[in-house]
Every structure is written in structure tokens, then in C-alpha cells.
Chain A
Amino acid sequence: MSEQNTSAGRVVDSGSEPHGHDSEEKRSIANRFLGGSAGRSIGLIIALLALFVVGAITAGDRFANVENMLTVIRFASITGVISIGMTFVITAGGIDLSVGSVLGLTTVVATLSSVQIFATETSWLAMVLIALLVGGICGLVNGVVIAYGNVVAFMATLAMLVAAKGLAEVLANRTTQIVNVKGFLDFFRSDIVGVPILIWIFVVVVIAGWFLLNRTTFGRRTVAIGGNIEAARLAGVNVKRHLMYLYVLAGITAGIAGLMMLGRTTAGTSTHGTLYELDAIAAVVVGGTLLAGGRGTIMGTVLGVLIFSTLTNVFTQNNLSTSVQAIAKGVIIVVAVLLQQRFASRSTAKKRAKAA
């Protein structure tokens, strides 16, 4: 079909001179690299290295050892998983404020005594499935309200934040529920080649997220919707359905993060995950994903999460209070966004100049 139409278009081809493909190809590859996520991430990598240098100088061996590096990454892994889901939502021009509170809800539901008894009788995987299901359903509610109810994402997910927290409190009766399913604890507290399972889960989610965003039709639709929702709609993309999927995805990542949280703390409570949504949004935006949508980078998000967890670690190693940490975080967010805007405007200025 397309072949036939190509020839239809050729009717107007009045034998223009051949184009210089080779040089074009080379230039575009260079452009794609420098303009691509790798090029944009260089600043973040430098920032991360600088933090390492600061850590190594101020805290010496306490900071610079394998054990501590694993601590940094393990610390990053739970927010990290949420941030991957958040990257998709933000790339599509949306926002999900409910992930932290949904995380708390999944830990509560998965540790309800009935669920734990069921899991002991069958398999600990039942807990996993239920947590993912709870996350997914919360996301589905968000998605339906946003996509089909035309409610602004900010408000819809804010409502979910409040409601999920309330539901978790009711279910848990404001108590902390201890995990006593042995298989579950064995798995989530295990190591593979000396690396904690939480880190492996994070790695798997990152790789899956990267492929999903950069190599699949799902990712292409996500970027297209964030770039111009009306153009995507008029090109035949089912925008509403896709938006719904995106919030389901974010909910599922909250469920995964909830499981990781259970593994780390061995307890379910409605206070788990409080304010994680803000950490995730900060990491995503610092990483280079446009808050307005249309451009998203998984690598950037990972670097953003690592920068914040390294920062926390360096501060803790130097016995600085969490309040000072919070101030530093705030400064980093602003500086990172300012720098990105400068880079962004410079690169578009270049592109425009080329067009002129």
C-alpha cells in the first residue's frame, strides 16, 4: 500500500539532484548522540561524580567503600522504582501525586492478617500479586477519572493521595502490621552475588522501563501524547486509553515499591511512602524529563535518584541534620532545572539557526 502511494507522490519528482546521504547520515548520528539522552546526562554524571569526590574527601573510607555504595543504591531503589513509573506519566504531560500514598496502601493490604494467612497456606507470591493488583487498581481509578472523566491529573491524583491514605488507615486500624510470611521475607531480604535483591529489582525495572520508553510503540505513544496530544489524537492514536494505561503503570510501580518497602522494613503501615511522590517528581525533573511532557529519559531519572540518595548519604556520613539535607535538595532542584533550561534553549536556538 505504502509502496504504491510512494510512486503516486513521485509524480511530482522532477528529477532533483541526488542528496549527500553519507555526510547527512554521519552528522545526524553525531546530533542524535549529543542531543540524545546520553549527551544530556553528561551534566548529571558530572554532578554525581562531584558528590562522590565530596563524599570521599569529607567522610573518607566511611563513604568510599563497596558496602556504602550498595547502601546508597539500595536507599535509592524504592524511590527509584516509583520514579520510573513517574517518568512515563510526566513524559506524557501528566503527573501522579498519589504514588507515595498508594505505596503505603499496598503495604497495608499485602500484610492484612487474612492475606498473610492465605499466603502462608498457598505461596508468598500471593502477597506479591495482591500488592501489584492494589497498585494497579488505584492507577486504573486515576486513569479512568483523568482520561474519561477529563479531570486534571493534578486534582485526580491528589484525591487519590488522600483517599488511599485514608483507606490504608482504616484497613490497618492505624497499627503497624508485621510480615511473618517466611518465603516472602526470605526472597525480599536475600542477596544475589552479594548485591541485595532490592537493587536487582530496581535494575530490572530500569531496564524494562528503558525498553518500554525507547523501543516500543507504548513509549512512542507516550512521547507523542506529551509532545502534542491533539496531533496524536488526530493521527489516530487512542489517547484516552493510553493515558489510562500510563496511570495503571504508575500504580503498578507503586505496588512494586510497596513490596520492596515490606522487604526492607518487614512491616506494613499507612505511613510508608509519605512524600515519596515529591522525591520521585524531583528526581524525574532533575534527570531531564520535561515537566511539560514530550521528552523523557529513564537514564536521567536513574541519575536523578542516585544524586539525591548520594547526597543524603554524604550528609549522613558527616552527621549533618536532615533539615540541612532538605535545604541542599531544594537548591539542587532549582539549579538543575535552571541549567537544563539553558541547555534546552541553546540547543533549540542552534536548530533554529540551522533552519534559517
Chain B
Amino acid sequence: MITDDHAASNNAAPLLQVRGLTKSFAGVQALKGVDLDVLPGEVHCVLGQNGAGKSTLIKTLSGINQPDAGEIHWLGAPVVISDPVAALSMGIATMYQELDVVDGLTVAENIFLGHEFDRAGVTDRRQANRRAREIMTRLGHGDIPPTREVGQLSAANKQIVSMARALSHDTKLIVMDEPSAVLDSEEVKNLFRVVRELTRAGIAVIYISHRLEEIRQIGDRITVIKDGRSMANNLPVSETPTRELIQLMTGRDVANVFPAATPLAVDAPVLLSVVELGLTGVFDDVTFEVRAGEIVGLAGLVGSGRSEIIETIYGARRASSGTVSVAGTELPAGSVEAGVRAGMGLSPEERKSQGLILDEPVYRNVTLASFARWARMGFLNERSERSVARKQLEALELRPADPDRAARTLSGGNQQKILLARWLVHGTRILLLDEPTRGVDVGARAEIYTLIRALASAGTAVVVISSEIEEVLGLSDRVLVVAEGRVIHTTRAEDIDEHGVLDLVMKGSAA
């Protein structure tokens, strides 16, 4: 409500006006005409699938890219944003998706990186710490000491530091590129609180996210971008139905995001069996089975031990107690190779740092777990590798469908497909998916869901984790609620809703 007032009261004087922005790279037209109006004190959401041109737009506003054509008006006057320093001095700060803080420096040093307080070249640490504390307090995080090393902070707190840095300049507009991608639901709430603080002080926020639920909560107006063009401008958040947004974004009608579950065959064999598995100090006594064709979800908050459970099952961590068996055969503890050989595959939480070799071609990422299969006497057969990878990627509709492109250049959804392709090519029977749709946009998400369900229907056993409880519930047949390193409840997915899970988690944590 507060935000609505702001938007209304400031209608007369737009902060930022973008008209007909175009930009092409090496013959590829990334932006084909984008308009954008941002008012002081509003949260303006930019919505679009990956590859729609959002990143290019952000980079143009932050001075990294120069547009080919089009105009940018700032406070009513036409401007050229020649480089990031110029953007900052105008009052435009950008928070990038990949956290851009330096782990080895303190909170204060990070905040004032590049514009340190100094006396005759000697940094004035005391003043920096004092100012840092002020800004952090303003963001509701006075509890984080300015002298703390940033490497010791959680992802959420690192983001607060990144935001503090943005505020350390005289900022009028903060561009946030998917700020919630690294946060769990509790942390997102705090982020929203901070964003409301900022807008109340008259600072405008351009908020980029794939999560429509979030935009509903925090946004004032929406601009939808598709294929480098703004499809709709200044849609009021409160009056635009989700269906319309998805349609604008994807160009098609998305009836139902989650595919229907196929009934499990009565005689479906148990593929994965976890018995009293434990990891000292992290989780304890985890027991469950997954049958062929079944999707089992682990629901819980970040820090509940859900990722560690999956990693221990996989062998990436050595269990301190209990056993993991695949199709009746017990696996040795702490051996990823044994897990992979037995038919398990993991799509890890951090796709970029744990899953992909970003500078290697797509096909080599696909065959990373199985390239030795085509090799003879240690000599690779790249032709077979490429053709198998290409076939698999075509089946998954990878875009662009070029197996030689560096994995780095693909969008989140397509990178996720590379990981799925890796295990499909390997012939995996048990898929462990940790955050399968993190950083994946709405249209591509539905595609990933359908794909996961299709794999299950073909006889794969799937274990899935997500920080979006709705996703776990929508995708799974059966749900294990995890809190404080224990499975506190097991139920069929249709018998529980998000509130039910959260209630259980709260009770479990209190116990």
C-alpha cells in the first residue's frame, strides 16, 4: 500500500526513462527496442525469460555496454552512461546475480571498495567502520560487525553487504539482478523488508526475478521483455493476472506448471534404499526408500541438512553411520565413483561451481561422467561423444543447440539441461536433484518439471530438493520434511501444503 502511494505521488517526475534501446553483439541483436520508465521510490520489476535481454539491459544501465541506438533520460535530461564509474556517480548502483564481494576483505572494506576513506593515502579504518555500521544498521543488519571477514558470512548476508556497497554511493536507483536466487524463504522476507526501507527513502529499485510470487509481494509496476523487446510497460502488479504475465513472457499459454503424476506401478522395485544414515553434527538417522518411477522430495529450510543428506547418499561426503544401497547392493561410504557406477547421478546445488566446467564445450560437459565408455585403450572417441551428446541435447531441446559452445554462454535452464543430459547419457537410474530450477526462468521451469516427470515415468528414481517448498510439493509423489538434520514427517505430496510443511518445520526446530 505504501509503495502504491509512492508510485502515484511521483507520477510527474520519472527518474529514468529509456526509449527504443537497441544493442547487438557480433551480429546478434540482443536488444531490439526496449522502453523502460522508473519512478522514484518504486519497485519496478523487469520480467523476461533467460535470453530475453534482461542482462544486456542491466549492463547498459550500469555502463558496461554502450547501446547502438535509443535514448536514456536521467532526471529528465538525456545522458550517456559511458562506464560503471559514470553510472555510480549518477546514482545508479547494480547488484549482480553472482555475488561480487571479496571474501578476504572485511565488511567495511567491501562496502567502500574503490572509494575508501583515506588520509594522504592511508586508509581511515575507523571512519570506514563507523560509516559501514551506519549503512548496515539502515539495512536492518547492525548485528553484522563491520570488521567481520565477508568470507565468513552467509550468502544472504553477503548480499546485504553488496547492497550496502550500492548505498555507500549517493544512490537513487538500485538494479537488483535476481537477488532472491541465493536466498531461502526466510532470507527473502528480510530482503523485502530492506527493499521497502529503501523505497520509503525515495530510492527506486529495478527488481529482476523469475519468481512471480515475489514480484506480487514486492513490485509496484512491471515491464515485460521478450526477445529483446519490451512487450508491455508499466503494468500495475496488483491488477495484472499471472496468466497474462506468463503469456507475455513466453508467448504461449501455460495452463499448469507441474505435470500430473503418473500412478506408481504396484511392483515397482526399490532402487534406492537409505538406512539410518547419519553425518556427525549435521544429520542423523535418515531412513527412506525410493522406488523406480517415484519422485521423493526433501522439504526443509536452508541449513536443515537437506543438501548434506543428498550429498552423503551420493558419496560426496562420508557417512558416519548407516548405509546406502542401490537395487539391493550396499555402497561403500564416501565414494562418488561407486555411486556413479551403481547408477546414481547428482545435479548439485551450485550448478556453476559444482556442476559444470564452464569454459569447456557443452558436449564435454555432457560426457564428463561417461567419456571413458567410448574410449579405446585410453584414446578418446570424440566423434561418438559429440553425436551422443548432440542427440540427447536435441531431445532435451537445448537452446542454442550447439554442442561446441562453451557451457558458460548458456542460460540457467539450459545449463540445467546439460546436467540432466550428463546423467541421461550415462544411463543413470537414480537422479539426485539439488535445486534443479535455481536461476531458471518460468517458461523453462515448466519444461524442466515435465522432463523430470518424464524421466520418472520411464523408470528413474528421483530425489529432489528445493528451497521453494511449492516446487517440492508440486513435483514429488512423496515428501520428507527435514528440520535440524532429522526427517520429522513423511507424507504423500497431495496430503500437505506449504503451510503444513512450515508448521512442521517450526515445531521440529523448537523441539
Known contacts being A220-B371, A223-B360, is A1 close to B427, with CB within 8 Å?
Answer: yes
What residues on B are CB-neighbors of A294 within 8 Å?
Answer: 357, 359-360
B396 touches A216 (CB 8 A): no
B356–chain A nearest beta-carbon distance, Å: 6
Chain A residues near B454 (CB-CB < 8 A): 8-9, 11-12
B392:A16 contact, CB within 8 angstroms: no
Bound CA–CA A8/B391 (angstroms): 12
B357-392 residues with Cβ-Cβ distance < 8 A to A are 357-360, 364, 368-372, 375, 378-380, 388, 391-392
Contact A13 B397 (CB under 8 A): yes
**B73: CB under 8 A from chain A?**
no
Residue B254 is within 8 A (CB to CB) of chain A in the complex? no
The segment from A114-122, A276-284, A326-334, A348-356 that touches chain B is A348-356
- What separation, in Å, do the CA atoms of A220 and B374 have in the docked complex? 13
Q: Name the distance in Å between B398's Cβ and chain A's nearest Cβ.
A: 10
Contacts of B346 in A (CB 8 A): 234
Flag the segment in A77-85, A156-164, A224-232 that touches B: A224-232
Q: How far is the CB of B183 from chain A (nearest CB, A)?
A: 22
CA distance A231 to B404 in the complex (A): 19
**Whole-angstrom CA separation of A21 from B26 in the bound complex:** 21
A215–B377 Cα distance when bound, in Å, is: 11
Q: Mark B445-463, 1 if CB is under 8 A from A, else 0.
A: 0010011001101111000
Interface hits, B411-458 → A, CB 8 Å: 411, 420-422, 424-428, 447, 450-451, 454-455, 457-458
Partner-contacting stretch, out of B48-56, B147-155, B294-302, B464-472: B48-56
Interface residues of B in 396-416 (CB under 8 A from A): 396-397, 401-402, 404-406, 408-411
Name the residue of chain B whose CB is nearest to the CB of A218: B378
Instruction: Count A-side interface residues using an 8 Å CB cutoff.
Output: 49
A5 CB–B CB distance under 8 Å: yes
Q: Does A295 contact B (CB under 8 A)?
A: yes
Q: Which residue of A lies closest to B56 (CB)?
A: A356
> Interface 1/0s, chain A 15-37, versus B by CB < 8 A?
01001000010001001100000
Known: A294-B359, A354-B409. A8 touches B455 (CB 8 A): yes
Do A5 and B425 contact each other (CB < 8 Å), given the known contacts A24-B402, A217-B380? yes
State the CA gap A13–B450 with chains docked (Å): 10
**Do the beta carbons of B409 and A12 come within 8 Å of each other?**
no
**How far does the alpha carbon of A289 sit from the alpha carbon of B454 in the complex, in Å?**
42
Q: Does B280 contact A (CB under 8 A)?
A: no
Within 8 A of A (CB), among B303-348: 314, 316, 336-337, 339-341, 346, 348
* Contact yes or no, A9 B424, CB < 8 A: yes
Residues of A within 8 A of B339 (CB): 236
Q: Which residues 303-356 of A sit at the B interface, judged by CB distance below 8 A?
A: 348, 350-356
- Please tell me if the beta carbons of A28 and B404 are within 8 angstroms of each other in the complex: yes
- Are the C-beta atoms of A356 and B55 separated by less than 8 Å? yes
Contact between chains at B28 and A224 (CB < 8 Å): no
Nearest CB of A to B361, in Å: 9
Q: Are A228 and B369 in contact (CB under 8 A)?
A: no
On chain B, the residues within 8 Å of A65 by CB distance are none
* Neighbour of B406 across the interface among A230, A235, A351, A353, CB < 8 A: A351
Q: Please, how many angstroms separate the alpha-carbon atoms of A6 and B340 in the complex?
A: 18
Q: Which of A32, A232, A234, A236 contacts B348 (CB 8 A)?
A: A234
A202 to B395, CA, bound (A): 46
Cβ–Cβ < 8 Å partners of A9 in chain B = 392, 395-396, 420-421, 424, 451, 454-455
Contact mask A230-252 → B, CB, 8 Å, 1/0? 11111111100000000000000
Decide: B357 and A351 in contact? CB cutoff 8 A: no
Query: Known contacts A6-B395, A16-B397, A234-B316; is A354 also within 8 Å of B355 by CB?
Result: no
- Decide: B341 and A231 in contact? CB cutoff 8 A: no
B256 on interface, CB distance cutoff 8 Å? no
Q: How far is the CA of A355 from the CA of B314 in the complex (A)?
A: 33
A236 surroundings in chain B (CB, below 8 A): 336-337, 339-341, 369
For the complex, what is the distance from the CA of A286 to the CA of B357, rounded to whole Å?
Answer: 23
Report B-chain residues with C-beta under 8 Å of the C-beta of A231: 353-357, 368
* Chain B interfacial positions (CB closer than 8 Å to A): 25-26, 28, 30, 51, 53, 55-56, 314, 316, 336-337, 339-341, 346, 348, 353-360, 364, 368-372, 375, 378-380, 388, 391-392, 394-397, 401-402, 404-406, 408-411, 420-422, 424-428, 447, 450-451, 454-455, 457-460
Using CB atoms and an 8 Å cutoff, list the residues of chain A in contact with chain B. Answer: 1-2, 4-14, 16, 19, 24, 28, 31-32, 211, 215-220, 223-224, 227-228, 230-238, 294-295, 348, 350-356
Please list 8 pairs of residues, one from A and one from B, whose beta carbons are closer than 8 Å in the complex, sorted by A's number.
Answer: A2-B392, A8-B454, A12-B447, A32-B404, A228-B357, A231-B355, A236-B369, A348-B408
Identify 8 new A-B residue pairs, CB closer than 8 A, beyond the known A28-B404, A216-B380, A224-B368. Answer: A9-B451, A9-B455, A217-B371, A231-B354, A350-B25, A351-B405, A353-B28, A356-B56
